[in-house]
């Protein structure tokens, strides 16, 4: 039974989901880093929010860990690179708190426009400073959205309800989608020059880190107001403070900071700054939604192999998983075969999907092929980290689809290139569920792969089959199946022989010394 650790505060509904699905779950909230490292080795899954730090040191001792689930969007507290290298799936819940976060951004914009927090403090202090807190209307103002995905698009909708003009910068926003949302897609510099309010809704990446800096702020309209309910690292806080002091920025509403918990910050106590302690996703509805989603996603992954909202591997729905299962077995066999017979460093891997296979979700199939190819020469390779490892080793990976059917209604072809040779093989499914190898090096064969196989390449000469059978028989090795193929009479030939157990090394050496044998390999599947 898979075992899950909940390390941060989640709705009790998450525990119920895990237990209802048959998983063993422990709640241990507030663990110190050392305490987490001491126990993480027991668990297959780890559910967190933002408090627990999933560091390389934690990952290094998480010997059973298969999945980390983040109840929320941001994964700043999870080392994605280390998790991927270790073959651990990292998933988040990008939709559960979208409305809550968008509403918080709108609320912050309103509070900023009307000085609500400052006026509240003043009134509680017994003052009546109406003239001090004159605000601005949102009506007819231009809101610039940096990022127009799940949350940004909801903010756009709400802002349009307030009769604001919305412009958006997002490299991934298509023109058609912009029209559907009713926003104007612009480049970043144009957004800076036109926006009365700027709201950030982009993830923190190498490209977006510190994007709101003194150069960017200098391009803005004087008096622009900045709202950030996304990630603190998007803003250079010292530069924002200077722009606030000079009046270039008229105000800022910040829910996130470069370091959290933020007990002190250069922006604190500025008269034109509104702050909240990372409350964007903090609503009753959102907390329940993300807890349920992360529990369901992790359960589906651990129990069925379904992948939803993963950051480092392709998605596989619960419905797709059964359909993909026989193809994954075929992919595993093709990759394992190629990996075991390839001894030179690999330069290129090409995977072609034909017929029915071309209509499938091919990403997990390619991932399975890669891990099976690389596993023969590398340790700790799986579907999650295989593409990462291939890239590190400068192995070029290509995928191709051909929906038309050839000789087979469904086919996966794998080609492996080294500096010295190119080897290709192909396989299909018999009766939609039984993997079958149908071609090796351009030679047609018809073989199902068993646990122990002997692969022989030879010249097509009389007596070869008899010599091979006699050598195995004299050594007490029983043949289960025997598949043959040749390119042409008297030319290249291959034999794939299923045997009842592992072939001893001395017997393998005898096979290699038989007349006309070029190569003999013991394969394990």
Which domain CATH number covers 260? 3.40.50.720
- Candidates 21, 225, 231, 413; catalytic one: 231
- Indicate the SS3 state at residue 457: strand
**Upper half-sphere CA count for residue 86 (Cβ side, 13 Å):** 24
Residues 298 and 417 in one domain: no
- Average pLDDT, consecutive stretches of 10 residues, N- to C-terminus, the chain (525 residues): 95 94 95 96 95 95 96 87 87 87 97 97 95 96 95 96 97 88 96 98 88 98 97 96 98 96 95 96 89 94 87 76 86 92 90 92 88 77 76 88 86 93 92 88 90 91 90 91 89 91 92 91 91
Exactly one of 49, 278, 375, 436 is catalytic; name it: 278
The answer to whether residues 66 and 19 belong to one domain is yes
Claim to verify: residue 238 and residue 379 sit in the same structural domain: no
Residue 34 in domain: yes
Residue 218 lies inside a defined structural domain of this protein: yes
Same domain for 170 and 105, yes or no, is yes
- CA 152 – CA 73 distance, rounded (Å): 13
Give the CA angle between residues 324, 329, 330 to the nearest 5°.
Answer: 95
Same-domain pairing of 129 and 236: yes
Tell me if 29 is assigned to some domain. yes
158 included as an active-site residue: no
Asked if residue 343 and residue 204 are part of one domain, the reply reads no
Q: What is the DSSP string of 27-58?
A: E-TT--HHHHHHHGGG-SEEEE-SSS-B-HHH
Residue 309 lies in a domain: no
d(CA 21, CA 296): 9
**Same domain, yes or no: 249 and 232:** yes
Residue 152 and residue 46 in one domain: no
- The question of whether 278 is a catalytic residue gets the answer yes
Judge whether 509 counts as a catalytic residue: no
CA 274 to CA 260: how far, in whole Å?
16
Number of domains in the chain: 3
- Distance (Å, whole) CA 11 – CA 29: 12
Q: Are 330 and 243 part of one and the same domain?
A: no
User: Which member of 184, 190, 260, 320 is catalytic?
Assistant: 260
Boundary (domain end) residue, out of 257, 275, 293: 275
The answer to whether residue 255 is domain-embedded is: yes
Within this chain, do residues 147 and 48 fall inside the same structural domain, yes or no?
no
Count the alpha carbons within 13 Å of 160 in the hemisphere toward its beta carbon.
15
Q: Are residues 197 and 265 in the same domain?
A: yes
pLDDT on residue 380: 62
Task: Say if residue 222 is in the same domain as residue 293.
Answer: no
Domain extent, residue 12, equals: 3-93+285-304
CB-based contact 297:289 (threshold 8 Å):
no
- Residue 235 falls within a domain, yes or no? yes
User: Which residue carries 């090096």 as its tokens?
Assistant: 441
């Amino acid at each position: 039974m898979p075992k899950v650790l909940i390390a941060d505060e989640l709705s009790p509904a998450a525990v119920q989901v895990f237990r209802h699905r048959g998983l063993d779950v422990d709640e241990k909230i507030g663990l110190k880093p050392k305490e987490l490292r001491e126990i993480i080795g027991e668990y297959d899954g780890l559910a967190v929010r933002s408090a627990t730090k999933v560091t390389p040191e934690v990952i290094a001792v998480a010997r059973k860990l298969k999945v980390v689930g983040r109840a929320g969007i941001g994964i700043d507290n999870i080392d994605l690179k280390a998790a991927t290298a270790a073959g651990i799936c990292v998933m988040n819940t990008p939709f559960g708190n979208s409305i809550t976060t968008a509403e918080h951004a709108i609320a912050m914009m309103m509070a900023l426009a009307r000085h609500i927090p400052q006026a509240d403090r003043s009134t509680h202090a017994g003052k009546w400073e109406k003239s001090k807190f004159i605000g601005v209307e949102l009506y007819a103002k231009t809101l610039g959205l940096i990022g127009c995905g799940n949350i940004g698009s909801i903010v756009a909708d709400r802002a349009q309800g307030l009769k604001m003009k919305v412009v958006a910068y997002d490299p991934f926003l298509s023109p058609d989608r912009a029209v559907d949302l009713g926003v104007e897609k612009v480049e970043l510099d144009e957004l800076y020059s036109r926006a009365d309010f700027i709201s950030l809704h982009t993830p923190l990446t190498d490209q977006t880190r510190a994007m709101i800096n003194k150069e960017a702020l200098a391009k803005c309209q004087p008096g622009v107001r900045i709202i950030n309910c996304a990630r603190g690292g998007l803003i250079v806080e010292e530069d924002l403070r200077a722009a606030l002091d000079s009046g270039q920025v008229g105000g800022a509403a910040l829910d996130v900071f470069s370091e959290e918990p933020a007990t002190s910050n250069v922006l604190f106590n500025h008269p034109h700054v509104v702050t909240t302690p990372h409350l964007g996703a903090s609503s009753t509805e959102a907390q329940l939604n993300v807890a349920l989603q992360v529990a369901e996603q992790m359960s589906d992954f651990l129990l069925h192999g379904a992948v939803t909202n993963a950051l480092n591997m392709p998605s596989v729905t619960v419905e797709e998983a059964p359909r993909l299962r026989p193809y994954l077995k075929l992919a595993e066999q093709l990759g394992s075969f190629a990996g075991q017979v390839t001894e030179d460093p690999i330069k290129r891997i090409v995977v072609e999907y034909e017929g029915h296979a071309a209509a499938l979700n091919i990403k997990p199939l390619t991932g399975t092929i890669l891990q099976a190819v690389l596993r023969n020469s590398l340790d700790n390779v799986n579907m999650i980290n295989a593409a990462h490892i291939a890239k590190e080793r400068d192995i070029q990976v290509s995928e191709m689809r051909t929906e038309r059917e050839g000789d087979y209604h469904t086919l996966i072809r794998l080609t492996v290139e080294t500096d010295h040779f190119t080897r290709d093989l192909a396989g299909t499914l018999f009766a939609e569920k039984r993997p079958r190898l149908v071609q090796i090096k351009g030679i047609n064969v018809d073989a199902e792969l068993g646990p122990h196989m002997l692969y022989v390449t030879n010249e097509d000469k009389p007596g070869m089959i008899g010599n091979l059978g006699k050598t195995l028989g004299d050594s007490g090795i029983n043949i289960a199946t025997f598949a043959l193929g040749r390119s042409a009479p008297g030319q290249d030939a291959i034999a794939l022989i299923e045997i009842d157990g592992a072939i001893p090394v001395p017997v393998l050496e005898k096979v290699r010394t038989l007349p006309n044998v070029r190569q003999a390999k013991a394969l394990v599947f």
